[in-house]
Structure 1
Amino acid sequence: MSEPQYEIPPRAVPENDAGYFEKITQAVFQAGFSWKVIRNKWPGFQNAFAHFNVDQVAAFTSVDVERLVEDKTIVRNGRKIEATIKNARICQELIAEHGSFHNYLRTMDGLPYIKREKQFCKKFKFMGPMGAYFFFWSVGEDVPEYHEWRAQNEKS
């Protein structure tokens, strides 16, 4: 029996800012890759990106980008690596402004899903509608049913 082409990620509210940043990073790297590839390499990602410590990754430099592009334990896409570092810096700003990433998400409460998705995609680098849906779903935020979301995106 063949393995399905997609996998429904587990839903869980992250315990801390690193958990939210990790889910953003998964969404970025998942784009264009099979779940199996990303899942199998995820321990390498955790090590390569300092277990998603926002401040540590935000401090990465071009030397770190060069190191990560050579790291065979992760997907070595320079643009996605650079986006991850930029996204850590964006997370830092949001955490400083709102006290936590969770509190930042609460600023979008009450907005229709499509507005939350658009804001999220605009704010974070290398984030598209599918990545935003994956993120919101996997961190336990309200999202439309997948088939409804898919039908809406096919209209756009």
Structure 2
Amino acid sequence: MMLDYEWLYGTVRQRFDSDEAMEAFLPRALAPEELKQKGDDRYLSAMSQRVFQAGMQHSVVDAKWPEFEKAFWGFVPEKMVLLGPEQIDGYMKNERIIRDRTKLQTIPRNAQFILDVRQERGSSFGEFIASWPSADIIGLWRLLAKRGARLGGRSAAGFLRLVGKDTFLLTSDVVARLRAAGIIEHEPTSQRDMQAVQDAFNELQQGSGRLLCQLSAMMSLSINPRF
């Protein structure tokens, strides 16, 4: 069974007073050219922010992020890759940031990941992200989980959402809608289930022309009107 877009749209539209209110609520993604124009320091910053958000209130991390930007010199990968144990020890004494050694250690590792991708592809990390097809966004999730530090689980999609790359999110409400539609039977963890989810989103996107991020928001709203 596949989700019917007309039903999904009609269900969600009832939550709003007007078409304009609904469209204003739905998330947006950046165009490929905008993603390419972002500096690789912005991608490392977003990776790091997402790593620190995991298991914490996002608002707490977000409020402290300006201090992280100052402490880590704007997250320039060429500088961050040089961070060693002594530098991490120093950051553990900085009361203005969140002092989590395990998460701090991901910064040089993810800086190396970005530099490796740049060397392999001969282009910026932003161009790499921008060129990845939305029809295989789960493939990008897998790559980030495999080669990045602490970017598995929901963190890959969370990072992409932070930088503006179009992606769906597998929140509990989205999973509930996918289960109700018979697309999956439980939380998707296997490659087979993840491909079934991707196929469902691809079909909805082809039929509606909407962004993946909007479709996942609509799925959430179809389950939880207080999304």
Partner of 1:104: 128
Q: In the alignment, what sits opposite 1:60? A: 83
Q: Percent sequence identity over matched residues?
A: 23
Q: Counterparts of 1:1-156 in structure 2 under 5 Å?
A: 13=35, 15-98=38-121, 99-106=123-130, 108-109=132-133, 112-144=136-168, 150-151=174-175, 154-156=187-189
SS of 1:154's partner is coil
Segments ≥4 residues shifted beyond 4 Å: 9-12, 145-150
CA deviation string 1:45-90 (max 9, x = no partner):
1112111111111111211110011111111111111111111111
Aligned mates of 1:46, 1:126 — CA distance in 2 = 20
Pairwise CA distance, 1:149:
8.6
Describe the shift of the 1:55–1:36 C-alpha distance in structure 2 as closer, same or farther (beyond 3 A).
same
> Bigger radius of gyration, 1 or 2?
2
Q: What TM-score results when the alignment is normalised by the length of structure 1?
A: 0.82
Note if contact 2:78-2:111 (Cα within 8 Å) is conserved in structure 1.
Answer: yes
Contiguous gaps of at least 5 residues in structure 1: 1-8
- Cα offset for 1:139? 1.8
Structure 2: how far apart are the matches of 1:118 and 1:154? 17
How many angstroms apart in 2 are the aligned matches of 1:10 and 1:110?
14
CA distance in 1, matches of 2:60, 2:48: 14
Return closer, same or farther for 1:150/1:26 CA change in 2, 3 Å cut-off. farther
**Within 2, Cα distance between the matches of 1:75 and 1:61?**
18
Structure 1 pair 107–123 and aligned structure 2 pair: CA distance change class (3 A): farther
- Give the match for residue 3 of structure 2: none
TM norm structure 2 = 0.58
Does 136-145 or 35-44 show the bigger shift? Answer: 136-145
- How many residue pairs get aligned? The number is 149
Greater Cα shift, 107-116 or 135-144 = 107-116
AA matched with 2:187: E
Contact residue 44 and residue 75 of structure 2 kept, 8 A? yes
* 1:72–1:150 CA distance, 2 compared to 1 (3 A): farther
Distance 2:128 2:70 in 1: 26
